[in-house]
Chain A
Amino acid sequence: MPKLTRRSFMKFTAASIAAAALADKKRVHAEKDDVDRAFPLMTAGATTAYGLCHFCSVGCGIEVKIKDNKVISTEGHPDHPINEGALCPKGRSMKEMTNSDERVTHPLIRKPGSDKWEPISWEDAFDKIASKVKDVREETFTKTVDIDGEEVRVNRTEGIFSLGSAEIDNEEAYLYTKFNRALGIHNFTHQAEI
């Protein structure tokens, strides 16, 4: 299962931003001690890519600067018809969010009664989840109900609920719905309701 191991992204990253141009190697000037010194811009040598803001639903476009496979700057995209180059403080912070050291970067498990997280491999995490889904589905499945004397096929998995998410992409949301419904999950909603 090569895709689940740590992958080689350099090729992929290069391909996905192939159309992006190298930023101009501009310099900024600062006067100090009567000497006009020149410094390279932080974005010198960076590639420019197109991104979308991930906060409120206005959907602003973001000009993302990337250097060494790392986001180094997020500014409003000048071409986007809604934000026309501007951004709010949250949009500006997309860089910090992406790079944050606070991010969870490995699957974790908290065992019953424990007071800490422990690492778990993707493989083990997926196996554990799938196996529990199957157990609970088998145990709590309602195939039919009696409605006014008629046996109606309902195919409901009663023992699993599912919440989420307005924070994931359309394709992911679609897969999540398809996944939940195929399993028979009907206690299913997300933050749009509240």
Chain B
Amino acid sequence: MASLAPSFGSGAMTNNFNDMKNANVILIAGNNTAECHPLAMRWVLKAQKNGAKIIVVDPRFNRTAKVADIYAPVRPGTDIAYLSAIAKYILDNKLYDETYIRENTNALYKVNPDFKFQDGLFSGFDGEGSYNKDSWTYQLDSDGLPIQADSLDDPDCVLMKLKGHFKDYTFKKASEITGMPVDKMKLVAETFVNNRPGTILYALGMTQKSVGTQGIRMYAIIQLLLGNMGMPGGGINANRGEPNVQGSTDLALMAHILPGYIPIPTDAHPTLNDYINTVGISNGKKLISLLKAWYGDKATPENEYGYHRIPKRDSGISDATYVPIFEKMNQDAYKMGFIFGQNPVVSTPTLDMALAGLSKLELLVVSEAFETETTSFWLHPDFNSKDIQTEVILLPAAVAFEKDGTMTNSSRWIQGKKAVVAPKGESMPDGDMIYEIMKRLKKSYANSNDSKDKAILELTWDYPVLDHGIDIESVLKEMNGYNLKTGKLLNSGSEIQSLKPGESSSGVGGLYTGVITEEGNHSLRRDNDDPSGLGVHPNWTFSWPDNTRVLWNRGSTDKNGKPRDKDRAIVSWNGNRWVGPDVLHIAAKDKAPNTPEGSKVFSNAEGKGALFRGPFTMPQQNIPDVTLKSGYDPNVFKVALISNEGGIGDGPLPAHYEPLESPVKNPMFSQQSNPTAAPVELPEFQKYGKAKDYPYVLTTYMVTEQFLSGGVTRNTPQLNELMPSNFAEISKSLAKKAGVKSGDPVKISTARGDVTVSAMVTDRMQPLKVDGREVEVVGVPWGWGFRGLVQGESVNQVTNSGYEPNTGTPEYKACACNVTKGGK
């Protein structure tokens, strides 16, 4: 979500599944909804029944395309080119919502005159893979606030910078890049622009690319220009992949954040004062509330609330962590690893790198419900298990029906459930395993006086133990947070900001606050009533933040709080207060629409939707002259900046770069691919192929019946009967070239090796006309491996581990390959 947060203020699916029925057009691009989110498709089809147009853009005529009104093919990894052509169409023809962009975006802000973009590089490039972002800024007044142009025609303003930036992306040029026919592209543009509100659905089809963040930035730019943000039936809907991936992201099982998207402290912030000065007041208060949840009474102003107990990240490294962990594993950086509920020996690109890495560990601890390729990597057919010295402990995990707890669905609904059967055999919920290991560590460190061990010894960990494990609701309460003066559960994350630092606790920095209050556990609410008919269902479980169902919904009204579309009145000002089926987002709920607090639409540093995304710091005005005492001084909140946005590492605007492995030279610039992509760390594994050896484009995906790495579904007979083996979808023309027919084995080779699967020759795959020649695309489902009731070669053996520099997501979706007849 590295692009939605800088664009708007926080990154998550903006609307919800039921809300999609309110759309007049739905662009599904980078997501095969019918296949991968089948019950979301229910709401796409309801929209279509109501008259909405469904557009599918995909390299393959997939199951979703089958029911679409418009299908447009696209070469994997080139989405930014056709989306830029749509942006140009909107800008050149002034089809944007002028009132919306004037009031709610940074369209009028004047850009630093030093900002430039030439031949694929933005100003500030260091020649080695990173940018100095100093020129990607606004012109500021003496208070440090952005200077606004008088007119949208001002050549310095953001809107004109956009117009200039996208000017070369004609439909014809974009067609040469993407292979999408010009007529189709025009039809997509006209249909999406002329039917509002429109929503966009995407998933890993957009993000598993070396330009993933900027691809989603295109969605943000288009939706802001069209005034679609905050509207029922509008927004940007990331359809996420795992049952609790929204929750696990919110809860920061990631290197660069703490729960609630609190930035991780780094070695550039030696003290809590430094941290607050850098991340701003709001994040500073969130971190203190988290530290109060984790260290209780031991978190005091004197010890900087236990700030030094949390490891500080190296400020010199990017957020990318997944591939780097496997790189470092191969460089002998680790003796031990934990892998809970994940199967990297199927899901990691360039799989040999993962296999070799795990073999270097002394101990691997895995929690799983089934044996997987990861738990049993030492049984890999290429290995002799005698040579593998890694000790492996496999902890049997209880499954969803066997444990109490909540999961957050893609649309931010925190849904609760109770255990309905006992864990099978001796299996145990993951939470109980973690609890038990920490209990033992606390005991083994009990006599330590070393300051580093306070992080463990003073950690709050006294969860009541019931007859079936720890009391999960007590954990949810800690996450929700307390008013420490009254001892009562907090009702809203805003209380963390209004109370003094140290007077509240919340393990998630307020993000989930309201899910469980003195009133009860809202995650268990199951009243499905929808009085407005807009698919809000306000009393069904609880939606973060504050039970808001449509993010940025203040923008669904005009500046006076009147709904912009009377049929989509989700919030409105009735003259005295905000009313409507949804909870007002961002703007203050007790303030009139014409006040500064009541008019705020977005929560990024400017409070404006970012069409152009550079770094910006919102300063505090009238700063008193105080000297802070070292470490932590509460006066830091009087002098620190209000909020800070660092910008995106690879540019303030998207640009078309070719995938890291591409069949063509970049038709736009001499800069071939993303200039900030990370260099190769392990040349023995991370090899790149050339177009002359690997002329085709390999893309990967999933099928309904085999889920992700297959660790569960390939052990489920009823699903295996439906989808018993893997295949490669290839066009008739490629089948002819390779001399194969459906069912024949085909060898798919890349610079990393080869795999053999059965050919499925199909009209769903068509060669694309790119830069004057035909480019073939090959599609292979990825969730196969050497364990389970049904097995098959993993295509990730040959995919590319080069990754998106902002997020770390590898470019699975666009690799260079060759296809030949396989021998067996």
* Chain A residues with CB below 8 A from B409, complex form: 57-59
Which residues of B lie under 8 Å from residue A13 when comparing CB positions?
419-422
A193/B344 contact (C-beta < 8 A), A170-B406, A170-B414, A171-B472 known: no
Q: Which of A134-178 contact B (CB under 8 A)?
A: 134, 136, 139-141, 143, 145, 147, 150, 152-178
Q: Which of B334, B424, B426 has the most chain A CB atoms closer than 10 A to its own CB?
A: B426
Q: How far is the CB of B289 from chain A (nearest CB, A)?
A: 14
**Interface flag for B459 (CB, 8 Å):** yes
Contact with A along B362-389 (1 / 0, CB 8 A): 1101011111000110110000011111
Interface segment out of the listed B111-119, B178-186, B243-251, B729-737: B243-251
CB < 8 Å: which of A136, A160, A169, A181 contacts B431?
A: A169
Q: Is A128 within 8 A of B393, CB to CB?
A: yes
Cross-interface CB contact of A194 among B363, B459, B808, cutoff 8 Å: B808
A17 within 8 A of B: yes
Q: Which residues of chain A are within 8 angstroms of B413 by Cβ–Cβ distance?
A: 59
The reply on B18 being an interface residue by CB < 8 A is yes
User: Are the C-beta atoms of B427 and A163 separated by less than 8 Å?
Assistant: no
Chain A residues lying within 8 Å of B370, measured Cβ to Cβ, are 100, 102-104
Docked complex: A180-194 residues within 8 A CB-CB of B: 180-194
Q: Which A residues from 60 to 116 make CB contacts under 8 A with B?
A: 60-61, 64, 66, 69-71, 79-84, 86-94, 96-100, 102-115
A54-B400, A58-B37, A190-B248 given as contacts; is B407 within 8 A of A83 (CB)? Answer: no
Check if B580 is an interface residue, CB within 8 A of chain A.
no
Scan B74-96; emit 1 where CB is below 8 A from any A CB, else 0. Answer: 00000000000000000000000
- Give bound CA distance, A52 to B559, whole Å: 40
Given the interface pairs A55-B707, A81-B540, the reply to whether A170 lies near B405 with Cβ below 8 Å is yes
Q: Mark A124-140, 1 if CB is under 8 A from B, else 0.
A: 01111111111010011
- Most B-side CB within 10 Å, residue of A55, A57, A108: A57
**Contact between A84 and B329, CB atoms less than 8 A apart:** no
- Min Cβ gap B684→A in Å is 20
Within 8 A of A (CB), among B301-336: 308-314, 320-322, 324-325, 328-329, 333-336
Taken together as a complex, chains A and B put the C-alpha atoms of A9 and B267 apart, in Å, by 49
Q: A6 an interface residue at 8 Å Cβ cutoff?
A: yes
B168 at the interface (CB under 8 A from A): no
Assuming A105-B424, A170-B476, A177-B253, is B42 touching A82 (CB within 8 A)?
yes
CB-defined contacts of A45 to chain B, threshold 8 Å = none
Output the least CB separation between A102 and chain B (Å): 4
Q: Considering the chains assembled together, what is the distance between the CA atoms of A125 and B241 in angstroms? A: 32
Given the known inter-chain contacts A159-B335, A170-B244, please indicate yes or no for A82 contacting B340, CB distance below 8 A.
Answer: no
On whether the beta carbons of B389 and A117 are closer than 8 Å, the reply is no
C-alpha spacing A82/B535, complex, angstroms: 9
Assess whether B507 is in contact with A178, with CB atoms less than 8 Å apart.
Answer: yes
Which of the residues B325, B329, B363, B400 comes within 8 Å of A189, measured between beta carbons?
Answer: B325
A118 to B: closest C-beta gap in Å: 10
A165 to B467: give the CA distance in the assembly, Å.
25
B259 near A165: Cβ-Cβ < 8 Å: no
Asked if B479 and A171 sit within 8 Å, CB to CB, the answer is yes
Q: How distant is the Cα of A140 from the Cα of B337 in the complex, in angstroms?
A: 13
A11→B809 CA distance, assembly (Å) = 46
| B 525-549 to A, binary, CB cutoff 8 A, 1 in contact else 0 | 0101010000101001000000000
Interface centre among A64, A112, A192 (most CB of B within 10 A): A192
Distance (Å) between the CB of A162 and the closest chain B CB? 4
Q: Note all chain B residues with C-beta closer than 8 A to A115.
A: 378-379, 385-386
Question: B254 near A: Cβ within 8 Å?
Answer: yes
Q: Which of B259, B267, B309, B512 has the most CB of A within 10 A?
A: B267
Q: Given A156-B311, A183-B441, are A83 and B39 neighbors across the interface (CB < 8 Å)?
A: yes
Report B210 CB to chain A, min CB distance, Å: 13
Partner of B528, one of A79, A122, A189: A79
Known contacts A59-B410, A126-B437, A155-B455; A173/B247 CB under 8 A: yes
Does B396 sit within 8 A of A, measured CB to CB?
yes
Q: Interface-forming stretch among B482-490, B714-722, B759-767?
A: B714-722
* Contact between B336 and A159, CB atoms less than 8 A apart: yes
- Is A35's CB within 8 Å of the partner chain B? no
Q: List B contacts of A133 (CB < 8 A).
A: 336, 437, 441
A160-B417 contact, Cβ under 8 Å, with A7-B467, A131-B444: no
Q: Chain B 200-219, CB within 8 Å of chain A: the 1/0 string?
A: 00000000100000000000
A12 an interface residue at 8 Å Cβ cutoff?
yes
Q: Given A100-B715, A152-B270, A161-B334, check contact A168 B244 (CB 8 Å).
A: yes
Contact string against B for A residues 1-35, beta-carbon threshold 8 Å, 1 for contact and 0 otherwise: 00110111101110011000000000000000000
Q: Which of B322, B367, B385, B459 contacts A193 (CB 8 A)?
A: B322
Task: Pick the residue among A50, A54, A186 that contacts B526 (CB under 8 A).
Answer: A50
Write out the residue numbers on chain B whose beta carbons fall within 8 Å of the beta carbon of A70: 421
Nearest to A106 among chain B residues (CB) is B426
A120 in the interface, Cβ–Cβ < 8 Å? yes
Nearest Cβ on chain A to B113's Cβ, whole angstroms? 32
Q: Chain A residues with Cβ under 8 A from B530's Cβ?
A: 81
Q: Which of B329, B386, B419, B712 contacts A12 (CB under 8 A)?
A: B419
Expressed in whole angstroms, the Cα–Cα distance for A51 and B240 within the complex equals: 20
25 pairs, CB–CB < 8 Å, chain A vs chain B: A4-B436, A8-B467, A56-B37, A88-B39, A90-B713, A93-B716, A103-B427, A104-B370, A108-B396, A153-B270, A155-B455, A160-B335, A161-B333, A164-B367, A165-B248, A165-B342, A168-B431, A170-B250, A173-B248, A176-B253, A181-B311, A187-B334, A193-B808, A193-B809, A194-B808
Apart from A56-B239, A127-B440, A176-B340: 11 A-B pairs, beta carbons within 8 A? A13-B420, A86-B42, A105-B424, A110-B394, A122-B428, A155-B310, A163-B339, A169-B407, A170-B250, A171-B472, A173-B248
In the A-B complex, the 10 residue pairs with the closest CB atoms = A105-B425, A59-B409, A169-B405, A165-B341, A164-B340, A9-B422, A166-B242, A130-B440, A88-B38, A166-B245
